[in-house]
Structure 1
Amino acid sequence: MGFSHSVRVFRAGVALGIKQAWQEKITILGSLIIYGTIMLLYGGVIKMIPDADLAKHGYSHSQMIWYLAITEYVLFICASWGFKEVQNDFQSEQIYLSLLRPYRASLVRISVWAGEALVRAAGMFVPVMLFITWLAGGLQMSALQVIGMLLSIPLSAVMMLAGLYIIGASCLWFVQSEPAYWIWNKSIFLLGALLWPMAYYPVMMQNIMWSTPFPAILAQAGEWALDPSLTRILLGFVHQLFWCLVAVFVLRWFDGVVLRKIQSGEGV
């Protein structure tokens, strides 16, 4: 399948995802309510931290709230239940029909998810920005930081969606994909620095984290809110670009592995 054909398939999948998400737009309201509740709770905890403890790393309460707001936003726009859809495709043998089509099953599934994520991101963006601006006591980011955040979030989404597809397809080897998702979810929480910036982790732990894709999935988008040095933030962005490309190539390779597994009669 050529590149131009892949682009057309991706565009069609995104359009379908947008249509599906718009038909279920009430779920965006539910996401906003849950998101707001989480941020109110954690925002209150952050405000209880003494100024001196935050000053050790040069952060303010407002920056910490914005960091958490961005990392949570990434999680909310990428539906975590997507891996179950992939698992159901394999367990219901729907995947056999997908293999007959002249394009990769992962491309279609992820393009639909991308369309859904786009609707959620657009629907949540303005309410989230207004709410967090109020909660944090203002928007502390410069125009450059906002632009960087907007560039990082789509890259984070690409890696999240690629990971969810691979996790869903892991049922070919492990019968159920839930254990793989549990490991993925906990890794994002710990190694992705969901709640606290990486500066709060021991240096050895930071080195371990940087050797994985998880900071690129979550921490990098949030780092734009912390006003770090330009060199550090650019290195983090390059790190994110690298892992995003790795995710795309791994997904393409994984498609071949899945196809051979099914053709051998060992899968599903």
Structure 2
Amino acid sequence: MTFKKLLLKIHLWLGLSSGLIVVILGITGCLYVFEEELRPIIHDYYYVDQVKDKKLPISHLIKIAQEANKKIHPKQTFSGCRTFSDDRRTVVAWFYEELDNDAIWYWNQYQTNYVYLDPYTGNVTKIEDYNFEFFVFVRMLHQTLCLNSKIGDPITGTATIIFIISLITGLILWWPKNKSAAKQRFWFQWKNTTKWKRKNYDLHNILGFYMMIFTLIIALTGLVWAFECYDKGIQWLFNGGKTFAKEERIVSDTTKYTPISATDKIYNATLKAHPKA
């Protein structure tokens, strides 16, 4: 068996072994990249029915959200709140509960609820099970195939590595021997007699060549999500060989006190400093 035939076999079987996962990652990645643009179009509860003169204090809205969510999930704790500079947008508060870190599926690991409120009236417009929100599902399918990250990350990461090897072997197979062969590598040279099998081969070869630089960048950057060692290596490389200590996350116990006035003061000060944020 010649080297080229061996390379062709490797290219074929690597493509077959990773193809389905790569297709899933590709489709979900294309969908998720437009998440911010599509979410307001899909979800009507992102907008209020009527814009009024004055909004309720943010602390009051958080309290309403806590009371509404407590009726459904009493064990969930308040995790965050988001407001928008667009006066038409609802305010959203979210709540979190840890379930089972060792569960196979991501939705069995934790439970997250998003409560959407009209900032003018305080009416709850939607209590959303965030685990099954369309774009959350798309992101988790893209990142871990909806599995626990300990299981899903190695699967998607390995498939991506195989895909990268397929790209490299494909480029070697594509490389023309001479100028005459190069004519058929850069553009289509079809005739009326050209059979579909040859057309399919040319589509794979030519389009694959022009897309390779983009797919290679996408694959190499995507590996950051899958492997922590790769992530650290990339950070080390772009930090000029320096490593920085990870900052400890500061968590406050909100059950010991209720900083209602502090919440409003912080929000108002932030809004004044960054009115378009």
TM-score (norm 1): 0.27
Higher share of residues assigned strand: 2
Q: Which has a greater percent of helix?
A: 1
Give TM-score, length-normalised by structure 2.
0.26
